Amino acid sequence: MLSPYYYQLLVIASINVIMALSLNLVTGCAGQLSLGHAAFMGIGAYTAGILTAVYDLPFAVALVAGGAVAALFGLLVGIPTLRLKGDYLAIATLGFGEIIRVAILNMKITGGPFGLRGISKHTNLTIAACAAVLVYWTMTRLMNSRFGRALVAIREDEVAAVAMGIDATRHKVLAFVIGAGWAGIAGGLFAHWFRYLHPSSFAFGTSVEILSMVVLGGMGSLEGSVLGAVVLTYAPEFLRGVSPFVSEHRMLFYGALLVVMMLVRPQGLVGEGTTGLRGSKLRKLKVFERFQIGKARHGLAATRKKSGNLKDSTDTCTVKEQVVDLAIGSGAGSKGAGVAGQVSGGGDEHAGA
């Protein structure tokens, strides 16, 4: 049987996994940098905590309501702010996070600076772990759908995605809403585990911590978000038990560890932004494309020498069409065809060679 210490670490790790996956959808998959994600967690936490502590509603209803209210705020914030890009979007989301923190700090129903007390304890390891697995499964299905492929296209080149008919603003806002909803559910679990809420728990530092989990694991990687959340949850506690000196300065070593990891693995612990089998297929098709282009070039050169009647206009674009046909015909299936299209579209570097 687990000790209460390790049991609590597992619960916190499960909640952090949900937060990392929700932010990964916005930042890693859609390419929109958000620095106020902890605000949605706070909205969900206070909503669920107030509904159970003040209005005595069932835990499940309060948890869903917390996610729904956070998603609503995500919609209200996402519509005006997601038309911004880069640093401007980051500053806008940072400002939203501070607005929410100050609002909670000055509202009577939230307990103000004294915090919200009297929340019943409903969260346990089973509920938190099942919620994390459910979010991971939903995220996997989402990223393998047409919507997920559209988000990746927007992240890689928004102008090209819009030119292909993708409604970039709509997809980004929807990703923001879904991510905010999941963060609200994580906040509800957080509230009913610790049974006490304070505005400082959802400040800018928490947003940076969640973003660090996503970056450390690998932007756009689902497995990376899970691994990053687990590693950064356990790392400070692991350093606490190394030695008295390390324990006293553990946050210094914790920061140094992050710096070293970013120098050694700047792309994150897992992958290059592609996930699971889908990422493996993409990498295999890229290798297959390079091999077939070289093979086709040699074949065309030999044919020119023999016949002498081929025009020089036969270029790499023609070769690429043959390569894509080979990739689709080699058993890649319907999903493979979509990936092959991405590979052929992303191979302009060969055209300039």
Q: What is the DSSP string of 252-309?
A: HHHHHHHHHHHHH-TT-SS-SS--HHHHHHHHHHHHHHHHHHHHHHHHHHHHHHHH--
pLDDT of residue 246: 80
Contact 187, 28 (CB under 8 A): no
Name the helix (H) or strand (E) containing 124. Answer: none
pLDDT of residue 35: 93
DSSP state of 242: T
DSSP state of 200: G
Q: Which of 147-161, 264-278, 303-317 has the lowest mean pLDDT?
A: 303-317
Residues 288, 294: Cα–Cα separation, whole Å? 10
What CATH topology corresponds to 4-264?
ABC transporter involved in vitamin B12 uptake, BtuC (1.10.3470)
Q: How long, in residues, is the chain?
A: 353
Mean pLDDT throughout 137-162? 92
pLDDT of residue 293: 63
Mean pLDDT throughout 200-225? 92
Contact 187, 19 (CB under 8 A): no
pTM of the model: 0.76
pLDDT of residue 264: 85
- pLDDT of residue 294 exceeding 80, the answer is no
Tell me: the pLDDT tens digits for 85-129? Answer: 888 989 999 999 999 999 999 999 999 999 999 999 999 999 999
> Where do the CATH 1.10.3470 domains begin and end in the chain?
4-264
Contact 182, 229 (CB under 8 A): no
Give strand pairing partners of 116.
197
Nearby residues of 301 by Cβ (< 8 Å), 6 or more positions away: none
pLDDT of residue 209: 93
Nearby residues of 145 by Cβ (< 8 Å), 6 or more positions away: none
Report residue 152 as tokens.
């990746």
Q: How many helices (H) and strands (E) does the chain have?
A: 16, 0
Contact 196, 119 (CB under 8 A): yes
CA angle 344, 335, 282 (to 5 degrees): 50
Nearby residues of 326 by Cβ (< 8 Å), 6 or more positions away: 288, 292
Biggest CA pair distance of the chain: 87
